[in-house]
Structure 1
Amino acid sequence: MDFDVLIVGAGSAGLSAALTLGRCRRRVLLADGGAPRNAPSPAVHGFLTRDGVQPAKLLALGREQLAPYPTVEVHELKITKLHKLAHGFRAEGTTDQGHAWAGTANRVLLATGVDDVLPALPGFRELWGTGVLHCPYCHGYEVRDQPLAVYGRGKAAVGLALLLTNWSQDIVVVTDGPGHLTDYGRQRLRQHHIGLRQEPVARLVGGPGGTLRCIEFTDGSYLERTAVFLHAPQEQRSALAADLGALITSKGAVWVDKNAQTSIPGLYAAGDTTPGQQQALIAAAEGSKAAICLNEALTKEQVMQHKRTAC
């Protein structure tokens, strides 16, 4: 095999896994397939010792800290196909120059992340990461005590609005048409003085620096807000796991066991690719955990091979 471990994805999870495996003296290829999900955000928050760092800077620091480990290679490489072999995997892809690439690895770790599927309305994509936000834990403090909106419907919108009351007392749920709210849900909004607007939305109007100025409705009225939060649907950035037949959860995440291994033996996953909370620090921790599990699995395999050879 060309490598012990091929890591697909060079965000927080992938970099963290590469660091741990490099310290285990494993032969690692880290395939960087492009900008991470949080690239539009001005800063990463809640990351111990790096609170407020720009996403690109955090990744640059991670790559710099891989340099002392001679067994770790980092390449601009988009993996497009994985083939399960009798022992290990064969990977195919393209380099940043557009050249075909192929290689083999004993194990593969997917850290490819997800993409957010935003509403097809003007302003959502343009203000994503600045005036349109997904995570109160990542961005709530920066818009504290300001007028906020929650875009969404049903139980999820009510839950997000209630969560935001820790950061602001001026919150309006915007359902963009019928909100499908239960009587209990409406009661909870009233109890916490959370407003409700059910008119169809026309667009978001931005202000300086990518901030949100207001939400404009199709009837011509508007609602001034500093930011709008939403739980956008997500889809996997890579189909590699699904193409191999790995188990995908009902929410579209790649299922993993307690050792970060998917339903395909030898194929691991970490970070936003897998179920659970999504935050850069959590992704980094999951990458490190997956790397430890990978190293122990490889060590066990090597010990067994040595035992068979000795016999």
Structure 2
Amino acid sequence: MHYDAIVIGGSYAGLAAATQLARARRRVLVVDAGQRRNRFATHSHGFLTQDGTPAADIAARGREQLMAYPTVEWRQGKVTAARQAGQGFRIEVEGSGEKQEAIEARRLVLATGVIDHLPEVPGLAERWGRHVFHCPYCHGYELNQGRLGALGVSPLSMHVALMLPDWGRATFFLNGAFEPDAEQLAQLQARGVALERGLIARIEGAMDIVMRDGRTITQDGLFTLSRVEVASPVAAQLGCEFEDGPLGRTIKTDTMKATTVPGVYACGDAARQGGSLPLAVGDGTMAGAATHQSLIFGGH
């Protein structure tokens, strides 16, 4: 079966990319494994016209609108392999209870997302997306200027700690990750950030941080950085270059979201450091348009 483009990943970036191709009346297949990165969050914030909308509803509505285009097909499953084949590409898809199937297309769009590797604090992962967050722009306002913690995982956590006072009463839990120098201590003091040097034993209740010395420090929300890993091996299999960043490795792209492999585009969290729903949609829109133009004009 042959398509103009296969979009691997059917979350926000993939939906946006596929929509541009569909509107150009190109034959598109979207393959999705059903693992949105923000599936743990109940609501999305900061996305124009959708502020406060359940995240799952935005994804569902996007898919419904995409599938109204007659040239689009959707395949639920996991892409297990990809390689160049002639003038295009061949992928292998493993679906639920189905045998693996080979499918070909002239172009590929990688919107695979990332896996978050969270700090190893007992109780933290269970609260991810509900009381523990990665982005104050996405979730800070709803915490109503309450007690906000920044969990130290590296010196980069200083950035998060210094931002938090704009959203609430901030405490920086160093948790043995690093020790601020004199200049950093002065910055924290100037911003009114309280410093907690004790080690965290676990998190209980809604957001009760139990310290190893027996104290309990209750917060309304905790912000931390995760290490990210591209959620699919496909980019590596195709020979795409990656970039090392402060949060992990992501797929290298140019301003048009083209990877280093001609004919392969990448968008969303797998192809940028840091991410949000609005940024994913913007990236996907660019990738879809660039993919379409490459089908006409050739080149990368």
TM interval, short-chain normalised? over 0.9
What is the deviation of 1:244? 2.0
Aligned AA for 2:279?
Answer: I
Task: Name 2:283's counterpart in structure 1.
Answer: 286
Which ranges of structure 2 fall in alignment gaps of 5 or more residues? none
* Structure 1 residues 191 and 301, CA gap change in structure 2 (3 angstroms): closer
Task: Name 1:225's counterpart in structure 2.
Answer: 219
Distance, in Å, in 1 between the alignment partners of 2:12 and 2:279 is 9
* Structure 1 residues 126 and 277, CA gap change in structure 2 (3 angstroms): closer
Q: Does 1:247 align with 2:241?
A: yes
Matches within 5 A, 1:103-252: 103-168=103-168, 170-177=169-176, 179-207=178-206, 212=207, 214-251=208-245, 252=249
Q: Does 1:296 align with 2:298?
A: no
Using the size of structure 1 for normalisation, the TM-score is 0.91
1:178–1:198 contact (8 Å) kept in structure 2: no
Provide, for residues 14-62 of structure 1, a one-character-per-residue CA deviation record: whole Å limited to 9, x for no partner. Answer: 0111111111001100001122010010101111121111121111101
**Matched position secondary structure for 2:265:** strand
What is the deviation of 1:224? 1.2
Match of 1:257 among 237, 254, 268: 254
Distance, in Å, in 2 between the alignment partners of 1:119 and 1:202 is 12
Moved over 3 A (4+): none
Task: Name 1:305's counterpart in structure 2.
Answer: none
Matches within 5 A, 1:20-39: 20-39=20-39
Provide, for residues 114-138 of structure 1, a one-character-per-residue CA deviation record: whole Å limited to 9, x for no partner. Answer: 1111122221110000110100110
2:153–2:224 contact (8 Å) kept in structure 1: no
Provide, for residues 111-165 of structure 1, a one-character-per-residue CA deviation record: whole Å limited to 9, x for no partner. Answer: 0111111122221110000110100110011113101100014532221111112
Distance, in Å, in 2 between the alignment partners of 1:27 and 1:178 is 50
Q: Percent identity?
A: 35
What is the deviation of 1:192? 1.8
Using the size of structure 2 for normalisation, the TM-score is 0.95
Report the RMSD for the aligned CA atoms in angstroms: 1.5
Provide, for residues 177-203 of structure 1, a one-character-per-residue CA deviation record: whole Å limited to 9, x for no partner. Answer: 252322111111112221111222111
* Structure 1 residues 240 and 104, CA gap change in structure 2 (3 angstroms): same
Task: Name 2:46's counterpart in structure 1.
Answer: 46
Provide, for residues 195-250 of structure 1, a one-character-per-residue CA deviation record: whole Å limited to 9, x for no partner. Answer: 1112221111122xxxx2x1111111121111100111111111211122211101
